[in-house]
Structure 1
Amino acid sequence: MKKMNRKVFGTFATILLTCGLAASTVVTVAIASPEKVQAAETAPYRNVMYYGDWSIWGGEGNFYPKDIPADQLTHLNFAFMDFDSNGNFKFTDKDAAVGAPVGQEGVQWGGANAGVLNALQDLRASNPNMKIGISIGGWSKSANFSTVAANPTARANFVANAMKFVKYTNMDFVDIDWEYPTSVRQPDTVDNKNDTGTPNATPADKDNYITLLKDLRAGLEKQGTEIGKKYELTVALPASQGTLAAGIDVANLFKVVDFANVMTYDMNGAWSNQSAHHTALYGNPKDPQYNSGLSVDQTVKYLEDKGASPDKIVIGSAFYTRGWNKVAQGNDPLQPGLFQAAEKNNKDADLSLTYGAKNEKPLTSGDGGRAGGVWAYRSIDALKKATTGLTEYWDDVAKAPYLYSKDTGEFFSYDNTRSIGYKSQYVKDKKLGGIISWMQSQDKPTTSTKRDELTKAIKTGLLGNTAIPSNPIVYTNLNVQATITPYNENGAGYEITIKNNEVANESNEVLKLTELAFETVKTPKFYLTTSANETLTAGDYTAGTVTTANGMTAIDLSSVYDGQTIPQGASYKFRLKSSAATVDVKNIQKISLTQRMAKNGVELGKQDIYTGNGEVTPPDPSDTVAPSIPTNLVASNVTGSTATVTWSASTDNIKVAGYKVLRDGVEVSNVTNGVSFTDTNLKASTTYNYTVKAYDAAGNSSAASAALVVKTTDTPPPATNEWSATKVYVGGDIVTYQGHQYKAKWWTQGNTPGAEVGGPWELIK
């Protein structure tokens, strides 16, 4: 069995908590694609999930990325990435990250498309509602944060590694999980033989943490501008007010990050000599430790008091239990065992005494050796069968469930769908940022493969039954070119050579393997358009499956073993036979490339690798001069739904292949013929910022032009657009109610316009 990492396992060192789409469907867009990328419509709340790399092994029931209920999530954190004291990245499990096939069709061990990191990209391509990101550190891998954050050279290297990593893995955000700044902790090798603790923590961590985050933010914004992508920066924060006060500059941290995931779980556990809730929404005054503030509500109030933006606070939910082995029943017949004394009568794997209850998995020194009463939510029924008299109770003050056996004295705290419902409503009432959960593999399945009972409860509680809005998925093009040679053997046709010009540059193991995966052409499919009246078919087996529809020929190499990947520096040739007696290269106008992580997978973007007009114009890797910056941006045809942007053509000597139009930093079009673009599906009375870049045939792009600020006009609603209590409205929607017009400021359903000061409706007239 593979090692089992934990997110927040360990000793309570102080009295404060340490705490299918069809295969031919292209749903993502590469930077060089002429297809328009739709702008993101941000979900009003976030449903954020952790996915541990060890989930693929037997200890978690071989739970693969393809089985994640991605349609219910807005963000998915891959946990965890390790790093050394110089800021160099290290795998916590290389086989899981880049080696194992993880249930992907046609993927082989060690292939360029193997591992969780690639499978997550395939999952996200089918679910553009969900952003994917890397969570760095964690409970057992936070030792080097203090050293790296304090050293400018190591910090710069760490940031550079993070930028390369998210580029190579097509990720959307970086999550820093430093547990915890200024908090000194020795490794707990009984729980995890690979635990590093935080022995080097110093008081300077508090300021250095902000410096590290600012450097990461600057790096993400720079790289995002270069490739036309909006990155996010997030953090994981402790729930303990004491730990927060000691190590977190709350006000300044919230100015830097997009949102913070507050780990409001593990707030009580086997390190304590009394039973309590480990993830309660509210504190219960009957708890002797009530003044410690170990509840969601108390932590949120503390953060807000210290300057945190409410809409950036993401509270935590637990998909697992914490438990005590022998707890007194107490005198309350309705809530037996709650807030009662525990006996230290159980043993950890090293035979030390503990208050903790039995775990779901056997105690193994170095791999889950602490008895903490940890059971996955999906195993609650098994826990009940394994424990005589175990009964579920509900604390209506804390809005939290627990299990207690009067026969054995065992006590288990956890979240269920009822407590999740209250947490979801709390987020909406307080206008917070959403909910984060640890972790996906521990959820209870509601189908044969999806583990989604609590996940779906969160999504429904926050966002209702409507689909989560999609995000534009932006990929960086590879340096791949096509050349065409006519042939005349048993008929006429074209021999097409695909050359992957990418070159391996990385030496660090993590970056080397992720660069290899990124720069290898994977399960390619080519789309070829011709200007002549001819039909193309496979000229030999190397062309794989060739089909023609709507004047376009598709060449799918998934069935050809030698064509399933084209490594860095390699070439691949195939032949297409023409129905014409003679052929002319001038008849081929364009060849585009899409990739898939697995056989019959979703296509991950589209880039042009050949443009014709009688000439083969492959990109020149040696050309490093970008075209001039477009100028004279002007907007016209501005209404509530459209805006036309025009600019001056590039006038330098570099041949311009096209222009990239960005709206609010995200590419929305790639103009290959002309200097004008009409944006559609805009919202009324909304401000947009447009910039334009020019690029040449080699893909070299100019810097962005000066921003053109465009504000659309109001589009009056139809006279029949009366407000309905049952209809879901999103930000920008306009309704009529009692003779007045109102505009929705955010997602809302059932909130009467004008009835609530500061509510979701804005009076227009």
Structure 2
Amino acid sequence: MKKLFSITSVVLLVLSLVVVSIGAQPKQAKAAENVPQYRNVMYYGDWSIWGGEGNFYPKDIPADQLTHLNFAFLDFNSNGDLVFTDKDAAVGAPVGQEGVQWGGANAGVLNAIQDLRAQNPNLKIGVSVGGWSKSGDFSTVAADPTKRANFVKNVMKFVKYTNMDFVDLDWEYPASVRDADLVDNKNDEGTPNAKPADKQNFITLLQDLRTALDKQGVDINKKYELSVALPAAKSTLENGIDVANLFKVVDFANVMTYDLNGAWTPNSAHHTALYGNPKDPNYDSGFSVDQTVKYLKEKGAVSNKIVVGAAFYTRGWNKVAAGTDTALPGLFQAAEKTNKDADGSLTYGANNENPIKTGDGGRAGGVWAYRSIDTLKAKTPTLKEYWDDTAKAPYLYSKETGEFYTYDNPRSIGYKAQYVKDNNLGGMISWMQSQDKTTTSTKRDELTKAIKTGLFGTSAIPQNAITYANLNVVATVKPYSENGVGYEITITNNEKADETNEVLKSTELSFETVKLPKFYIPVKAGETLTAGDYKAGTVTTSGGNTVVDLASVYDAQQIPQGASYTFRLKSSASSVDVNNISKIDLTQRMVKSSVEFGKQTIFGGGSVVPDPSDTEAPTVPKALESSNVTDKSATLTWTASTDNKAVAGYKVYRNGTEVGSVSGTTFTDSGLTAKTAYTYTVKAYDAAGNFSAASSALTVTTLDAATPPATPAWDTAKTYNKGDRVSYKGKTYEAQWWTQGNEPGAEQWGPWLLIN
């Protein structure tokens, strides 16, 4: 059971007066060219930034070892409106980020993990909604179509505003009634409204989320993932989870194979064992990774979507008998109720690492972070580590005090990773990152690295393409002639605050604020640009671009919703033409020292004049088709889009990544690989920065380099430019100038020249 502990873009640029829209280990995995796509999924609790977890910030996470990072947790109410569990942690605190102030648009964990991903493209970031103490409203919301739709709409906005890659639904647990445990957590909701209908309503909620994620993903050219947290106990799964249908909807399921035993049971046992040990009194309940996985497969789970759990913390009992097994003393033995919880009730549990306190970890359950096990051993020097080779699990036991602690270590992690590979599973999850132990680095990474090495070997985790939604920001470019000549560029952020919900209002503000902008501006050959005033910040030349970095200018470090910022670039030319600046790349950063994120390329021309009041998107470009394919290029054409005012141009995407922008309805993508399939889509945009939805996809396969491209047949409805070739009635013709509807060979001196 995961507990919620309580602890005291990119922009569109526009030209106008020219305006441009802007121990003994199991065998390790061998490095291979084609590494299986396992998942190393980590949970990061928002309370980790406070003293109880040693002020553990996102920048300290060993992100290069992970594939997925879950922000835990986001709450919601019975209407489906989102609620912060800790607003200061989420969007307020600087969390150790360079140059970030309390309450800034780049403050909080939600911004810090975006910065972390920018530095580690192998990492996907997502949000876990609910959790052990915040699952009380799932039953109500999932059962009501209106509330469910509101919840889904709000989650979609949240993941867009926070630039996340996946949603993790953490309902603990459907159809399982539980009273709130206010001794453990004063904010615990329990699940008093749970009902049998939750089982089907859970699937319905997931299907609605899946549909919405897919739609939003198409809109911003991003593939969102959907995951869930599942219980490990057979009885809880049978009671509330339609396993077969759930696995049809989700990308993967995180099975919480920890907390399988604890102070609520009268005998010691493993809380996160790989295999069940028949000597365990609860063996028939299936409290092990292997037993749970086999049950899920029997019920229709897809193997490579099953992600099994590792525990970065202990569970413990207080007074446990040694028993008669001298090799494994204390294991599966009776405990005594001699310890007390914070409310004075008796418990089998051992003392926790942190002092028990009513409403704040008030249950004595022997919970110690893995990083604190050496401290635990120093506190009780008679503790000795044992290994249950049947369960592939370690434990600590003291014959003198009767203390017993169960947990994962690198050895048990290694066996779990091997089990994942041997059984074609999807990977491993861990609860939670702040509890890991530092090794030779400053990162808390001992167990995290053991999982990564067990699954991927020494190979680097494959990188992902990071996609960000665009902002409605424009840049106006005009000439100036004071002390020389140059360009005056005004950046205007046309975004405005629309949200009223606290969570969405805060995340919208962060998302729609331009942060630490840097511009890349290619100019006409022979022209050099330098800073025209102090507002231009640091101006350099790199890769054929003039680079304008505004991070050094205090007033330009953030451009809020509705604000503008103007700077000047001085030209080496005797006169300037604003059309020379027809393409601008803008990147942003969360902090000064981090890498850039959210690059957007905007192409423009002198005729484009934006209207900030225009909010209507152009129609979708239609009839995307290939007109010519070679081994190195593909020429695409499509039917023009319409807009209420004017279409400024089209963006072309190859395999989901933007590869160009044009004002017309044809585009040639070059530098391709022979005999390779590529999928293209096109979006139209207007001068105000509105984008259409993506066109239907077209898949093009390039030719073998040894095979000459086929000449396309003449099409009476199609326009052709000089040099275009067509085949007609067995002959090949080449266009001598622009033509449409003129039949090749029909007239002696027409636009077509007979070639073959």
Residue 459 of structure 2, aligned match among 463, 466, 470: 466
CA 1:507–1:335 in 2, change beyond 3 Å: closer, same or farther? Answer: same
Q: Is 1:648 matched with 2:638?
A: yes
Contact persistence 1:281–1:295 (CA under 8 A): yes
> Residues 87-486 of structure 1 correspond to what in structure 2 (within 5 A)?
87-486=80-479
**Cα distance, 1:126 vs structure 2:** 1.1
**2:663 and 2:649 mapped to 1: Cα distance?**
8
**Cα distance, 1:541 vs structure 2:** 1.8
**1:287-323: CA deviations, max 9, x gaps?**
1111010000000000000000001100000000000
**1:613-661: CA deviations, max 9, x gaps?**
x45644645151414423142286577xx77362235265743412332
**1:207 and 1:387 mapped to 2: Cα distance?**
49
Residue 686 of structure 2, aligned match among 693, 696, 705: 696
1:521 aligned residue: 514
> Residues 55-70 of structure 1 correspond to what in structure 2 (within 5 A)?
55-70=48-63
Contact persistence 1:496–1:573 (CA under 8 A): yes
**Cα distance, 1:123 vs structure 2:** 0.6
- In the alignment of these two chains, the number of paired residues is 682
Amino acid at match of 1:600: S
Q: With the length of structure 2 as denominator, give the TM-score of the two structures.
A: 0.86
Amino acid at match of 1:629: P
**Cα distance, 1:688 vs structure 2:** 5.8
1:745 aligned residue: none
What is the aligned-residue identity percentage?
69
1:82 aligned residue: 75
- Stretch deviating more after TM superposition (276-285 or 465-474): 465-474
**1:497 and 1:487 mapped to 2: Cα distance?**
13
**Cα distance, 1:30 vs structure 2:** 8.6
**Cα distance, 1:99 vs structure 2:** 0.3
**2:93 and 2:674 mapped to 1: Cα distance?**
44
**Cα distance, 1:594 vs structure 2:** 1.1
Contact persistence 1:658–1:673 (CA under 8 A): yes
CA 1:658–1:46 in 2, change beyond 3 Å: closer, same or farther? Answer: same
Contact persistence 2:4–2:131 (CA under 8 A): no
1:740 aligned residue: none
**2:57 and 2:323 mapped to 1: Cα distance?**
44
Contact persistence 1:528–1:554 (CA under 8 A): yes
Contact persistence 1:627–1:656 (CA under 8 A): no
Contact persistence 1:329–1:336 (CA under 8 A): yes
**Cα distance, 1:271 vs structure 2:** 0.3
Q: Is 1:45 matched with 2:35?
A: no
2:740 aligned residue: none
**Cα distance, 1:584 vs structure 2:** 3.3
Q: Is 1:669 matched with 2:659?
A: yes
What residue ranges of structure 2 are gaps of 5+ in the alignment? 15-19, 21-33, 707-756
Amino acid at match of 1:344: K
**Cα distance, 1:580 vs structure 2:** 3.2
CA 1:388–1:679 in 2, change beyond 3 Å: closer, same or farther? Answer: farther
Q: Aligned to 1:125, what secondary structure does the other structure show?
A: helix
Amino acid at match of 1:657: G
**Cα distance, 1:492 vs structure 2:** 2.6
**2:703 and 2:261 mapped to 1: Cα distance?**
53
Relative contact order (C-alpha < 8 Å, sep 6+): which is higher? 2
Amino acid at match of 1:415: D
Contact persistence 1:479–1:621 (CA under 8 A): no
**Cα distance, 1:694 vs structure 2:** 3.1
1:600 aligned residue: 593
**2:542 and 2:262 mapped to 1: Cα distance?**
62
**Cα distance, 1:578 vs structure 2:** 2.5
2:622 aligned residue: 630
CA 1:240–1:225 in 2, change beyond 3 Å: closer, same or farther? Answer: same
CA 1:486–1:42 in 2, change beyond 3 Å: closer, same or farther? Answer: farther
Amino acid at match of 1:343: E
Amino acid at match of 1:341: A
Contact persistence 1:627–1:696 (CA under 8 A): no
CA 1:344–1:31 in 2, change beyond 3 Å: closer, same or farther? Answer: farther
**1:319-359: CA deviations, max 9, x gaps?**
00000011000111110000000001111111111111111
CA 1:260–1:29 in 2, change beyond 3 Å: closer, same or farther? Answer: farther
**1:472 and 1:418 mapped to 2: Cα distance?**
34
1:657 aligned residue: 649
CA 1:651–1:388 in 2, change beyond 3 Å: closer, same or farther? Answer: closer
**2:276 and 2:670 mapped to 1: Cα distance?**
50
CA 1:502–1:652 in 2, change beyond 3 Å: closer, same or farther? Answer: closer
**Cα distance, 1:533 vs structure 2:** 2.5
1:736 aligned residue: none
**2:683 and 2:36 mapped to 1: Cα distance?**
29
**1:43 and 1:67 mapped to 2: Cα distance?**
27
- Stretch deviating more after TM superposition (694-703 or 125-134): 694-703
**Cα distance, 1:714 vs structure 2:** 9.8
Amino acid at match of 2:618: A
1:534 aligned residue: 527
**1:215 and 1:547 mapped to 2: Cα distance?**
49
Q: Aligned to 1:474, what secondary structure does the other structure show?
A: coil
**1:304 and 1:494 mapped to 2: Cα distance?**
65
RMSD: 2.5
Contact persistence 1:31–1:228 (CA under 8 A): no
Contact persistence 1:74–1:130 (CA under 8 A): yes
Q: Aligned to 2:548, what secondary structure does the other structure show?
A: strand
**1:31 and 1:300 mapped to 2: Cα distance?**
48
**2:522 and 2:442 mapped to 1: Cα distance?**
40
CA 1:573–1:278 in 2, change beyond 3 Å: closer, same or farther? Answer: same
1:24 aligned residue: none
**Cα distance, 1:177 vs structure 2:** 0.2
Larger Rg: 2
**1:197 and 1:677 mapped to 2: Cα distance?**
58
**Cα distance, 1:156 vs structure 2:** 0.3
2:29 aligned residue: none
**Cα distance, 1:589 vs structure 2:** 2.7
What residue ranges of structure 1 are gaps of 5+ in the alignment? 1-5, 11-27, 35-40, 717-765
**Cα distance, 1:484 vs structure 2:** 2.0
- Stretch deviating more after TM superposition (218-227 or 666-675): 666-675
Q: Aligned to 2:552, what secondary structure does the other structure show?
A: coil
CA 1:646–1:583 in 2, change beyond 3 Å: closer, same or farther? Answer: closer
1:559 aligned residue: 552
> Residues 577-592 of structure 1 correspond to what in structure 2 (within 5 A)?
577-592=570-585
Q: Aligned to 2:167, what secondary structure does the other structure show?
A: strand
**1:600 and 1:615 mapped to 2: Cα distance?**
38
Q: Aligned to 1:530, what secondary structure does the other structure show?
A: coil
**2:170 and 2:642 mapped to 1: Cα distance?**
47
CA 1:213–1:713 in 2, change beyond 3 Å: closer, same or farther? Answer: farther
Amino acid at match of 2:637: W
Amino acid at match of 1:48: V
**2:703 and 2:243 mapped to 1: Cα distance?**
39
**1:395 and 1:448 mapped to 2: Cα distance?**
30
Q: Aligned to 1:260, what secondary structure does the other structure show?
A: strand
